[in-house]
Amino acid sequence: MNILIAPNSMKGSLNAFDFADTVEQAFAHSSKFKLRKVPVADGGDFTGEIIAKL
């Protein structure tokens, strides 16, 4: 099963990259999933970091 992990940052707690990594770790114990991480931004916190990674 393909899983797209595309989180926005969680204001005041996790940026989009850390959020995506956390979700990936939760699925990592199963070989049933093919994961792809694509952190996103809506113009708020960490938008510059997301754009810089493109």
**pLDDT, position 35:** 92
11-35 pLDDT per residue, tens: 888 889 999 999 999 988 887 889 9
What is the C-alpha separation between 15 and 41, in angstroms, rounded? Answer: 10
Domain carrying residue 12: 2-53
- For the entire predicted model, the pTM comes to 0.77
What are the two backbone dihedrals, phi and then psi, of residue 42, each rounded to the nearest 5 degrees?
-110, 20
Q: How many domains does the chain have?
A: 1
Tokens of 52: 């810089």
Tokens of 17: 């990259």
Q: What share of the chain is helix, strand, coil (3-state, %, to 5)?
A: 35, 20, 45
